[in-house]
Amino acid sequence: MRKYFITGLLILVPLAITVWVLNLIIGTMDQSLLLLPPSWRPEALLGFYIPGLGTILTLLIIFLTGLAARNFIGRQIVSVWEGILTRIPVVKSIYSSVKQVSDTLFSSSGNAFRKAVLIQYPRHGSWTIAFLTGTPGGEVKNHLEGDYISVYVPTTPNPTSGFFLMLPRAESIELDMSVDEALKYIVSMGVVAPEMQADKKIITESATPRN
């Protein structure tokens, strides 16, 4: 009896959480329909609500914005718009901070969250996985002697919250695993261990035909 119950939990819990997360994302993105005039919304045109239409509209807006910003005229419009925002006292600090973070995280040239490292935290001898976010800069850098790195230490099982640390590069160990593998390891509280690179190498070598 207990064995069947646990088997059911193992099947239904991941499915329920997946559906809940997708419903949350789609429900949030569907709010973009509020940008349309009431007479243009699906409820007015079709007489009933269709989940997901707002998600499609959101993705379309993101795509068209990126497409427009890639040409000369689009870049000029973005430049003018950013110039206006940076002249508004309160908006300036919020927009500049958010833009700097988003550029660091989502830019293809950025290094944030591209590498997983092993560090000792919260005390010496206790290890955890962190993500490299860059190097200290500005006034902070003037007070740190030597080669330091900035890392983000996510909490378990919710990696969206965590701690920001600056530590000597020599006290970190770069891991030969992808960010996705590291996140799975953190979210699962160490249950889902990433495949060892040595094992991958053995598998690759055994699959290679020998002459």
Q: 6 in a domain, yes or no?
A: yes
Q: How confident is the model at residue 41 (pLDDT cuts 50, 70, 90)?
A: confident
Residue with tokens 């509280």: 189
Instruction: List pLDDT tens digits, range 107-140.
Output: 655 556 778 999 999 999 999 999 998 888 888 9
Q: How confident is the model at residue 201 (pLDDT cuts 50, 70, 90)?
A: very low
Question: Residue 166: how many CB atoms within 10 A of its CB?
Answer: 15
Q: CA-CA distance, 81 to 71, in Å (whole number)?
A: 15
**40, 70, 100 - which closes a domain:** 100
Across all residues in the chain, what is the average pLDDT? 81
Instruction: List pLDDT tens digits, range 5-24.
Output: 888 888 888 888 888 888 88
Helix axes 53-69, 2-29, angle to 10 degrees: 50
Residue 147 confidence (pLDDT): 93
Q: 168 in a domain, yes or no?
A: yes
Q: By C-alpha distance, which of 136, 123, 113 is closest to 186?
A: 113
Q: 132 in a domain, yes or no?
A: yes
Residues 185 and 96 in one domain: no
Residues 153 and 90 in one domain: no
Q: Is the confidence at residue 73, as pLDDT, over 60?
A: yes
Provide the 8-state DSSP code for 128.
Answer: E
Q: CA-CA distance, 104 to 142, in Å (whole number)?
A: 22
Residues 42 and 96 in one domain: yes
β 148-154/162-168 pair status = antiparallel
Fill in the amino acid letter for 104.
T
Structurally, the chain folds into a number of domains equal to 2
Provide the 8-state DSSP code for 196.
Answer: P
More confident residue, 158 or 5: 5
Instruction: List pLDDT tens digits, range 172-187.
Output: 999 988 888 888 888 8
Residue 165 confidence (pLDDT): 94
Fill in the amino acid letter for 183.
L
Q: Beta partners for 149? A: 167
Q: CA-CA distance, 190 to 156, in Å (whole number)?
A: 10
Residues 70 and 139 in one domain: no
Mean pLDDT, range 58-75, rounded to an integer:
84
Q: How confident is the model at residue 200 (pLDDT cuts 50, 70, 90)?
A: very low
Q: CA-CA distance, 94 to 26, in Å (whole number)?
A: 26
Q: CA-CA distance, 33 to 20, in Å (whole number)?
A: 21
Tell me which H or E stretch contains 172.
Answer: strand 172-174
Query: Can you give the residue range of the structural domain that contains 12?
Result: 2-100
